[in-house]
Amino acid sequence: MAKKSEDSLEAMIAKVKSHPNISKAGMILCHNGIVRDFSRQHGKKVRSLSVQVDVSAIEHAKSWALSKPGIVAVEILALEGDFVVGDDLLYVVVAGDLRENVFSIMRELIEKIKTGCVKKKEILDS
């Protein structure tokens, strides 16, 4: 899905803060994934990145995170399309009771998204 003007990290934080159980949260942790200029696999310079998103898998990942102890609210926006270095790709917002819970779930959630919810194709410099 292409980024719409109302899709922003700030809007996602506002949505999480409006959750009916937000009073049980002690922190909100945010992730903003962007296109970097080098390939992890090849070490070469990245010219652009093409991304496909499995929306159903994103919803499953969100449900998984919400089922974990201490997690109050989760919002995920994975952008789809063609991107260049510096472009935003992924926003994740997790609210929870204690930092130990929130940090560990955020890390696992990002891994789930990157390995099972999105497919990326790097366009590399020759």
In CATH terms, the superfamily for domain 9-124 is: Molybdopterin biosynthesis MoaE subunit (3.90.1170.40)
Q: Return all residues near 42 (Cβ < 8 A) that are at least 6 apart.
A: 122, 124
Query: Which region, left, alpha or beta, applies to residue 86 given φ > 0 means left and ψ of -120 to 50 means alpha?
Result: left
- CB 9, CB 33: distance < 8 Å: no
Give helix 55-66 / helix 99-116 axis angle, nearest 10°: 160
Whole-prediction pTM value? 0.92
pLDDT score of 100: 96
pLDDT digits (tens, 9 = 90+) for 39-80: 988 789 999 999 999 999 999 999 999 999 999 999 999 999
Domain spans, the chain: 9-124
Mean pLDDT of 100-111: 98
